[in-house]
Structure 1
Amino acid sequence: MTTTFQRSTPSALGIDATGVQALIGALESTPGVEPHGLVLLRHGQVAAEGWWTPYTADRPHLLYSLSKSVTAAAVGIAAREGLLDLDSTVISHFPELDTEVTAPRSRTMTLRNILAMASGHRAETLDRARAIDPDNVVRGFLLLPPDEDPGTVFAYNQPCTYTLAEIVRRVSGGTLVEYLRPRLFDPLGIEQVAWKRDGTGELGFSGCYATTETIAKLGQLYLQRGVWDGTRILDEDWVAAATRTQVANPDEENPDWSQGYGYQFWMARHGFRGDGAYGQFCVVLPEHDVVLAMTGQSLDMQAVLDAVWAHLLPALDADGSSDADAALATALGSLGLAPVDGARLETAGLEARADFAVADRTAVPGLDTVVLEQDGDGWAATLTQDGSPVRVPLGEGSWTVSDATAASAAVEADGQVLVAVRFVDTPHLLWVRCDPAAGTFGARWQTEPLHDRIDTLHRPTDA
């Protein structure tokens, strides 16, 4: 059983490596874009791969809404096994709510409807569902009557996917990860997967942690129409339906978000994709036999796709060369995100331990204290949010990686200490600036976490 992709070169796979190198340059230079990892497949082989230090190939990355595509695969497998009927009503899977859910549109909503984000609601319902029932998102969702007939309008809607995850758990009798382990993860050679949970189970719409290669394998499975190493995992008609427009969404602002929506996949100007907040991508280009998996911390996700279309597409089926392959390999081997630049911490005049109080409590709510202290031959920072401390060793002129963080610090020209903390299981970067003269600090997120506080910004350890 093949569990690892064969490695090749771009030119051997009909790709001009200069185009891939231009894509990397664009990702590194475009405002609002920060790449963390990239795997490019063609004909089922790796044409190029690289990770930006301190991110690494073997570290799972929070996928945010790209998790939806994994949840959808669980639905497709359960349908193939006869555990559920896509044309069944959602309410039929929650008999305990049958007497409460009386709105006709809520009662006629089907699994196909919520797979396609076509529940009939005109807008996101997560906050409203939680307001109705803080402990049961499905109940809150089903008690919120749709604005239109199910199947007629698109609205990106987290409870649709949350509900699908709960249905799979109910029909399988276990967690999503337990259900998918022998049916998807093991056959594809996927070892490291964890999923953030609430009191019910995996979030479904978010919270999956997986490596960049895992993203690529999911894309390759769909590119191969549901077959892996000669074994069918997803029905071909499921793959066809999941990767074509089920409901139109022309009102979406960005061009690659207005091409239609399938079953937890977006259609795009080229091919289709799953994606997640801050630049987690699984791009599949069937006409070119290509899969591109990317992780990152990008505020401008449209710019990422624009760069792919501008630089990668022209490189496909273009003349390559061994020299270009070698230059790209060198570039891929030296990728990195710059550590904090400045003087060493010893020049700040700090005692062996220096405590700093927050200057602005609204910037990062709950982050009240920062402690800088000597740690052997180096320094460490302890950040305390809502009473929960997180200790991170600090690199100087480099990143020091420890557990779920990578941190770097330096003294700026004005004497203040700038600390960068990357929560490397996630996209997120926290900036902390300490003022030794005032004994205070300020903090800001480069990208704000959607679910977590600093002490939970890591892959779950119990999944």
Structure 2
Amino acid sequence: MSRLPRSAPDAQGLSVAALDSFVGALDAGAPEIQTLMLLRHGHVVLEEAWAPYRLEDPHLLFSVSKSFTSTAIGLAIDAGLLKLDDPVVSFFDAEVLPETISPNLAAMQVRHLLTMTTGHSQDTVEALSRDRRMVKVFLGLEVQREPGTVFVYNSGATYMLSAILQRLTGERLVDYLRRRLFEPLGATEASWQASTEGITTGGWGLSINTESLACFGQLLLQNGEWNGTQLVPAEWYTAATSKQVPNDNQENPDWKQGYGYQFWRGRHNTYRGDGAFGQYVLVFPDYDAALVVTSATGDMQAILNTVWEFLLPALEGKEVPAVPRPEHLQLPAPAGAAPTAGDGTTYRFADNLAGLTAVRLDSDGSGTFTFAGLEPGATSPVDIVVRPGDWAELNSVGVLKEADPQSTQRVVSSASADGTAFVATIRFVETPFVLTLTCRTEDGVMTVDAEQNVSFGPTHLTIISEV
């Protein structure tokens, strides 16, 4: 059910032709756009999904999660549970604190976690991921600089905000926000990954759908008010979305306009939450507008450049360069010949980074790919069947969601041929990720070239079956 009113663009002062050009430019650009929604004066004036993606599907938001964590901290401060200048070490006991607390660690405050000025020389998240005791690891790391002096993007700092909130309230961040934010906004589909020590990850891992994220954008525009109720103190969002610290040490122009409390400042007096591979809630306070985008790209600046070239002039009432808009927005299944028939042999693989354990290619041109577990916490193998033709829905295969073991992720797949090779393309449509597996067999051995469209690490892996 829609939670935001819909309106024709021209009723909200926007040109339909200009918005069509904006959509056309996004579609023609290199970044793969999956969904988008534009709000103006509290109304949805543009909503699109590139098939097979859907607006109603939850989508993994990566670091957009941080802006929700900021919201939770603002609520906790308003409730008197903590203050911005509280020392981080004050929330923890000897079980996790280092034997010797350095002056810089002692000086680290909640505000430094919020503004990414903890004093660490690099993001701490990699160090945290090596050990299940993530809080203890963070507190034991060397703090090289005086907190508050240098901006260094630090997802581990956001994790610590979640850990502090859980210590204070006795409940996970996701549960703390559920009745205070998610349920009032109608974001009942919200799920959030937890760490191995049982703490909501905070800096990443939140999944909600496009309209829920748009509701959050409208909440920001309304300074925390929703349906006549002040869900979040207006003063918090004013502070959180303002420039609290400089971040001139960043490279891209829209990442060096200042940082607030887990919100980025942008050009043209905008602010945003953003996440890896092109997830955005971008707020235009001067134009009473907000844009939500989910996508898959390694070039996040390219999306913002398209926004400044096409959407910003539309909001200003200016002419926009004409770009044809496709009649149907879609990310088509791979074209080409159907795969040749297989012989039904099951090829098995040793442990590998792709989690692929077995492949069977059958005489009908389909393939069955077995994965050991596509997510942390998955306990049983998952079979994904890939057939020639258009995207096939696989939402019943049992790809587990970590936050809710009873639910499944939506997956689509298609098979094609590359010469004699069988090519399986698998889209995990509640994420940006697309996996392409090119399988070749020779002398009883299968070689699989695995390509992932975007990744925090290598995007290519070659796997050879066991003899």
**Structure 1 length-normalised TM:** 0.86
Alpha carbons of structure 1 residues 101 and 422: separation in structure 2 relative to 1, 3 Å: farther
Would you say 1:344 and 2:338 are equivalent positions? yes
Q: Whole-Å Cα distance in 2 between the matches of residues 143 and 379 of structure 1?
A: 51
SS at match of 1:418: strand
Q: CA RMSD in A?
A: 2.6
Equivalence map 1:83-98=2 (5 Å): 83-96=81-94, 97=96
Q: How far, CA to CA, are the matches of 2:105 and 2:384 in structure 1?
A: 48
Q: Deviations over 1:271-296 (max 9, x none)?
A: 00000100110100100111101111
Who is 2:398 aligned against?
none
- Counterpart CA distance in 1 for 2:226 and 2:10 is 25
**Could you say if the C-alpha distance between residues 401 and 444 of structure 1 is closer, same or farther in structure 2, counting changes exceeding 3 Å?**
same
Residue type of the partner of 2:439? C
* Contact 1:250-1:259 within 8 A present in 2 as well: yes
Q: 406, 418, 421: which one pairs with 1:416?
A: 421
1:355 aligns with 2:346: yes
Task: State the match for 1:367 in structure 2.
Answer: 356
Q: Is residue 2:373 matched to residue 1:381? A: no
What SS does the aligned partner of 2:366 have? strand
2:413 maps to amino acid:
A
Aligned pair partner of 1:397 in 385, 389, 394: 389
Cα offset, 1:3, TM superposition: 7.2
CA 1:3–1:419: 2 relative to 1, 3 Å: closer
**What CA distance in whole angstroms lies between the structure 2 residues aligned with 1:344 and 1:354?**
19
Aligned residues: 431
SS in 1 for 2:412: strand
Alignment pair present for 1:297 and 2:296:
yes
Note the C-alpha offset of 1:230.
1.5
Please, which runs of 5 or more residues in structure 1 have no aligned partner? 452-463
Q: Structure 1 pair 395/59, CA: closer, same or farther in 2 (3 Å)?
A: farther
Greater relative CO (CA pairs within 8 A, separation 6+)? 1
Counterparts in 2 of 1:309 and 1:354: CA distance versus 1, 3 Å: farther
Shift of residue 70, structure 1, vs aligned partner: 1.1
Larger mean Cα displacement after TM superposition, 229-238 or 34-43: 229-238
- Could you tell me how far 1:267 is from its partner in structure 2? 0.5
Give the conservation status (yes or no) of the 8 Å contact 1:67–1:208. Answer: yes
Between stretches 364-373 and 67-76, larger displacement belongs to 364-373
Residue 184 of structure 1 is matched in structure 2 by 181
User: Residue 300 and residue 191 in structure 1: after superposition, are their counterparts in 2 closer, same or farther (change >3 A)?
Assistant: same
CA positional deviation for 1:191:
1.3
| TM-fit CA distance, 1:408 | 0.8
Partner of 1:40: 38
* Distance change (3 Å), C-alpha of 1:129 and 1:350: closer
One-letter identity of the residue aligned with 1:408: S
Q: Aligned equivalents of 1:175 and 1:60: distance in 2?
A: 20
Which residue number in structure 2 is paired with residue 158 of structure 1? 155
The 5 A counterparts of 1:161-310 are 161-200=158-197, 201-270=199-268, 271-310=270-309
Deviates more, 1:249-258 or 1:214-223: 214-223
**Cα distance in 1, alignment partners of residues 54 and 119 from structure 2:** 41
Q: Counterpart in 2 of 1:121?
A: 120
Q: Distance in 2 between matches of 1:185 and 1:47?
A: 23
Point out the more displaced range, 101-110 or 422-431: 101-110
Tell me which residue corresponds to 1:455.
none
Opposite residue 434 of structure 2, the aligned amino acid is: L
Q: Would the aligned equivalents of 2:132 and 2:195 in 1 still touch at CA under 8 Å?
A: no
Deviations 1:371-390 (A, max 9, x none): 2346xx88342233589643
- Post-superposition CA distance 1:211-266 (Å, at most 9, x none): 11121111111111111112111112211110111111112110001111101111
Q: CA deviation at 1:166?
A: 0.9
Distance 1:230 1:384 in 2: 48
The TM-score, its normalising length taken from structure 2, stands at 0.86
For 1:379, the aligned partner's letter is S
**Contact 1:275–1:281, Cα closer than 8 Å, also in 2:** yes
Residue pair 2:69, 2:161 contacting (<8 A) in 1 also: yes
Instruction: Give the aligned partner of residue 142 of structure 1.
Output: 139
CA gap of 1:129–1:103, structure 2 versus 1, over 3 A, is: farther
Cα deviation code 1:327-366 (max 9, x no counterpart): 97x84xx321110112234xx0323x243467x998x555
Structure 2 unpaired stretches of 5+: 374-378, 396-408, 459-467
- In structure 2, give the amino acid aligned to 1:295: T
Indicate how the Cα distance of structure 1 residues 450 and 388 shifts in structure 2: closer, same or farther if over 3 A, else same.
farther
Distance 1:229 1:145, change over 3 A: same
Structure 1 pair 76/411, CA: closer, same or farther in 2 (3 Å)?
same
Q: 1:434 aligns with which of 435, 439, 463?
A: 439
Which of 430, 434, 446 is the equivalent residue of 1:425? 430
Offset from partner CA, 1:116-154 (integer Å, 9 cap, x none): 1111123212233456xx122222222223222211110
Q: Percent identity?
A: 38
